[in-house]
Structure 1
Amino acid sequence: MTERVQYVARSPFYPDLKERVDGYFATTQLPRTGTWRLFLKTLVCITGYIAGYCYLVWFAQSWEAAIAGVIFTGVTMCLVGFNVMHDGAHGAYSSSARLNWLMGYTLDLMGGSNYLWRQKHNGLHHTYTNVDELDRDLQSSGLMRLSPDQQWLEHHRWQPWYALPLYSLHTFFWVIYRDYSSFFGRRAGPVQLRQPRMGETIAFLGAKLFYYAYALILPAWIHGPWKVLLAYTAIHLIAGVVLSIVFQLAHSTEDVTFPTPDADSGEIEDAWAVSQVETTANFAHGNHLLSWCIGGLNYQIEHHLFPRISHVHYPALSQIVRQACADHDVHYFCQPTLRASIAAHFRFLRQMAKEPDSGPDSGVAQHLATEVAP
């Protein structure tokens, strides 16, 4: 038995696609990273988040004003994550490594951890997409069944009904428990994470202290603890639903595949790039406002194939990727609208809620995990 899951098939698809994408950038003379549009969007998103926070802390004088401020702050927190942090953490924001780190570090300033994101998201999710136990985006501690390879439990029959309430807890659970468990336990499920360097430990703990100071302690000093806890929880409930829905639409849906490694060799009988396309679904290509708001994450196929290219280029690249997929007989799937994509996700949840005829081949990936470094 090997220690690492491997994609063993070879395909001319990705070399050909990369050549076409290289040709696009050579012709347009555009940088692969962000352009002035991304820098302007960064200013809008970060200013909006700070403005929402300041409004809540110093200017909201009624329950109605507080509710409006909570909604605005929760949404703008997602905008920063989708548009600024995500590109930065992937090294796609700028050609400057320091600027990429700074933009990725906005996650820490909103309660998360860029150090953990780079290992769990960049290292695991982007390598082992939809591979049970290794793709941490599929894991919910058994609360939901998001892959046909996961064990069915009695309560899963109700998951289409409790999915949204559970999604709402996503960022709340993230900032109060999951980061600490992964950081100090050095594990992401069956995968051992690398030992953090001293600077990363200082950055992790310093950002956590700063976050709790501005998000909870300062507002509680002004308004009292109970009002602040209520507003804080509401912000995370909003952010949790928005973030979860956007990310679930790409992989936990109809018309995508769930590769299963061979139990003995750890081999996946597919090429990595082909698997990235076929485990991912796009949606709402024509909705420019939606694309702007969610950082091009309705073009997840393009993102998975080229994570170090900024999302501002995805609409143009999608035409190239779609044509290459057609030429190489690779299944490229895109839901026409956001509504259709949400409906497909909940149909998938209903499919996974049904008791399967036979149990899944569980426990394969945990024996094939290896140490992950970003």
Structure 2
Amino acid sequence: MAATIVSSAGLRLNARARSSGAASSRVVARCESLPSQIRPPRLVLPLAPHATRDGPDADASGPRLPSDLRGVTLRTQHVAPARLSRASLVTRAVATPAPVTVPEPEQRVAISAPRPDVAMPNMQDPWNDPKWKDTKWTVYRDVAYDLQPFYDKHPGGEWLLNLAIGRDCTALIESYHLRPEVSTARFNKLPVLEDFPVTAVPRAPRPNDSPLYNSIRDRVRKELFPREGKMEHRMGGDGAAATIVGTAVACYALYANFTGPIAGAMLGLAGAWIGLTIQHCGNHGAMSPKTWVNNALGMTDDLIGGSSLMWRYHHQVSHHIHCNDNALDQDVYTAMPLLRFDARQPKKWFHRFQHIYLFAAFPLMQLAFQVGDIKGLFTRDCEGAKLHGATALELATVVIGKIAHFGLLLGPLAWGASGAAVAAGVASFIAVQGMVLACTFAVSHNVAETKVPEDTGGEAWERDWGIQQLVTSADWGDKVGNFFTGGLNLQVEHHLFPAICFVHYPAIRKIVAEEAEKFGVPYANYRTLPGIFAEFLKFVKDMGTADQIGDVVEAKHKNKSMCPLGFA
């Protein structure tokens, strides 16, 4: 068995072990310079005791190797940096490990990680305590507040503020506000709930405690949005929104008049464009300074078959705050057991084929959303976050949206289209939209660079939030990709600034790259979508055979008092 170690500018170490007759597995070891909170265990390879060092790099002027690799045969070559934009030299070292005895697999233990919206064990439950149950409470930096007086004053509107109810909102507040001093001043004016059991509420990450994030945000404010208070960071997307909506209307007109698989596929592409762009940015409150515009564009998610309500809780409360946390990020654990995107998850025998059958699973993504939306409506839970703050109107949008969605798809029946043509058109729409959305969403967090090979254990709040966003996300493309994906190709920038309109991400990207280099933090960057998609497929294949890392960590999902129909 041979192992290839690739050290990129002293920032990360990629090791791919290959064995004859077996699928390859990839392990990514981060550099020792990363903060200890996110640093994985050192990767140790047993090397042959008599390996020697030779070649053109044998003198003292050659690149200095980690102690793990001293005494191995080296061949040095200059190659173009593949993903980290600042890397200029890649040293390839080929090592022949000595024979080792493979130990018996250790017994895995299931650990329960507390969900952010379920009471900590053996503590008072403020979600069900009559004293607090009807209060619009939230916790911000270990202090409980009553949000009720702020509802008519919140610039982002009621729907976004509802996300903070019934949980520690620190990460939501601090990642959504470009001017943290403004949000802090608002909290200072809110009523404090003096005897509230704050310790019963699981803590959220604290973006404002991240030196990297603060440095990036300060530069973004000064260099891109110097006119404070003008809401310019939420402007600039009007032209893109008009183009996308116009395209969708034209595609539906084609579908209505020429119903069939081709028109259905075109409508699916238009639906995917909406899903990637205006609904996504609108639900983040970032398409416009006007709340009604953001809400209207956000509800286009309901028209294409999703649910704007479920999306806000799933995407913003679960995924954005706990990116790639295998216990708390819904995007990681809900794919199991069908797809395994993390080596910390249990491995099944069929996962070795997942890089093949995922092309059959992705087109069905929209159907999975349909089931999840209806289930979440009854359970008041979207798997990754409970809908504590959802109003009756928001819940009604789930039902109204489904009626509107299927009404549009089946509408051609009313003006004479055959049932077979409509069925073919609907099937084509679902498959194309699902495939495009799944492929675009999946790549940014599921390549080797974006996985920290250690068990987070549901304790993401202990890590540097700014660094966490960089090491769990990957960028690809530039302005063209940004236009067609609503900034999802620049995933790092989107995670750092979800409330900034995507048209500004290319400019922010330059600042992020410079600050990441200054702080010595890896910044994964691919030139094209095909490039990152190829790495995504390799990663998925590797995850199908990779040994499990650490214990099985499962989020504490069940809270029957919140799920009257027992779906939790």
8 Å Cα contact 1:109-1:210 kept in structure 2 = yes
Residue-by-residue CA offset, 1:45-80 (whole Å, 9 max, x unaligned)? 1121122112122245xxxxx443222211111111
Describe how 1:171-186 pairs up with structure 2 within 5 A.
171-175=366-370, 177-186=371-380
| Secondary structure class of the residue paired with 2:234 | coil
Shift of 1:364: 4.2
For residue 274 of structure 1, the aligned residue among 452, 456, 467 is 467
8 Å Cα contact 2:225-2:233 kept in structure 1 = no
Residues 267, 214 of structure 1: alpha-carbon distance in 2 compared, 3 angstrom cutoff: closer
Question: Which residue of 1 is the match for residue 202 of structure 2?
Answer: 4
Distance in 1 between residues matched to 2:384 and 2:439, nearest whole Å: 25
Higher relative contact order (CA 8 A, sep 6+): 1
Q: 2:337 aligned with 1:127, yes or no?
A: no
Q: 2:455 aligned with 1:260, yes or no?
A: yes
For residue 116 of structure 1, the aligned residue among 310, 322, 347 is 310
8 Å Cα contact 1:169-1:237 kept in structure 2 = yes
8 Å Cα contact 1:172-1:233 kept in structure 2 = no
Residues 262, 74 of structure 1: alpha-carbon distance in 2 compared, 3 angstrom cutoff: closer
Greater CA drift, 359-368 or 102-111: 359-368
Which consecutive residues of structure 2, in runs of 5 or more, have no partner in the other structure?
A: 1-113, 115-119, 121-200, 563-568
Question: Which residue of 2 is the match for residue 104 of structure 1?
Answer: 298
Q: Which runs of 4+ in 1 moved over 6 A?
A: none
8 Å Cα contact 2:482-2:502 kept in structure 1 = no
Residue-by-residue CA offset, 1:134-180 (whole Å, 9 max, x unaligned)? 211122241000111111111101001111111111113223x1211
Question: Which residue of 2 is the match for residue 219 of structure 1?
Answer: 412
Shift of 1:339: 1.5
Shift of 1:253: 1.1
Distance in 2 between residues matched to 1:23 and 1:121, nearest whole Å: 29
Which consecutive residues of structure 1, in runs of 5 or more, have no partner in the other structure?
A: 61-65
Shift of 1:311: 0.5
Residues 5, 151 of structure 1: alpha-carbon distance in 2 compared, 3 angstrom cutoff: farther
Q: 2:233 aligned with 1:32, yes or no?
A: yes
Question: Which residue of 1 is the match for residue 498 of structure 2?
Answer: 307
Question: Which residue of 2 is the match for residue 326 of structure 1?
Answer: 517
The sequence identity of aligned pairs, in percent, is 25
- In our comparison, the structure showing a higher alpha carbon Rg is 2
Residue-by-residue CA offset, 1:243-274 (whole Å, 9 max, x unaligned)? 111111110112113463347xx355421111
Structure 2 counterpart of 1:303, one-letter code: H
8 Å Cα contact 1:20-1:320 kept in structure 2 = yes
Distance in 2 between residues matched to 1:191 and 1:368, nearest whole Å: 11
Q: 2:540 aligned with 1:349, yes or no?
A: yes
Question: Which residue of 2 is the match for residue 150 of structure 1?
Answer: 345
Question: Which residue of 2 is the match for residue 63 of structure 1?
Answer: none
8 Å Cα contact 1:335-1:341 kept in structure 2 = yes
For residue 284 of structure 1, the aligned residue among 477, 488, 492 is 477
| Secondary structure class of the residue paired with 1:192 | coil
Residues 143, 133 of structure 1: alpha-carbon distance in 2 compared, 3 angstrom cutoff: same
Residues 12, 196 of structure 1: alpha-carbon distance in 2 compared, 3 angstrom cutoff: closer
Question: Which residue of 1 is the match for residue 433 of structure 2?
Answer: 239
For residue 265 of structure 2, the aligned residue among 58, 66, 71 is 71
8 Å Cα contact 1:261-1:365 kept in structure 2 = no
Residues 26, 203 of structure 1: alpha-carbon distance in 2 compared, 3 angstrom cutoff: closer
Structure with a larger share of its residues in strand: 2
Question: Which residue of 2 is the match for residue 296 of structure 1?
Answer: 487
For residue 250 of structure 2, the aligned residue among 51, 56, 59 is 51
Count of aligned pairs between the two proteins: 357
For residue 278 of structure 2, the aligned residue among 84, 88, 105 is 84
| Secondary structure class of the residue paired with 1:223 | coil
Structure with a larger share of its residues in helix: 1
Residue-by-residue CA offset, 1:4-58 (whole Å, 9 max, x unaligned)? 26548954111111110101224588810131xx212212211211221121222
Describe how 1:196-207 pairs up with structure 2 within 5 A.
196-207=390-401
Distance in 2 between residues matched to 1:11 and 1:170, nearest whole Å: 35
Distance in 1 between residues matched to 2:528 and 2:297, nearest whole Å: 30
Structure 2 counterpart of 1:331, one-letter code: P
For residue 160 of structure 1, the aligned residue among 335, 348, 355 is 355
| Secondary structure class of the residue paired with 2:277 | helix
Distance in 2 between residues matched to 1:359 and 1:31, nearest whole Å: 45
Distance in 1 between residues matched to 2:558 and 2:468, nearest whole Å: 18
Structure 2 counterpart of 1:152, one-letter code: K
8 Å Cα contact 2:261-2:427 kept in structure 1 = no
Residues 196, 225 of structure 1: alpha-carbon distance in 2 compared, 3 angstrom cutoff: farther
Distance in 2 between residues matched to 1:69 and 1:204, nearest whole Å: 26
Residues 119, 135 of structure 1: alpha-carbon distance in 2 compared, 3 angstrom cutoff: same
C-alpha root-mean-square deviation of aligned residues, in Å?
2.5
Q: 2:234 aligned with 1:41, yes or no?
A: no
Greater CA drift, 102-111 or 2-11: 2-11
Shift of 1:355: 4.5
Distance in 2 between residues matched to 1:190 and 1:94, nearest whole Å: 27
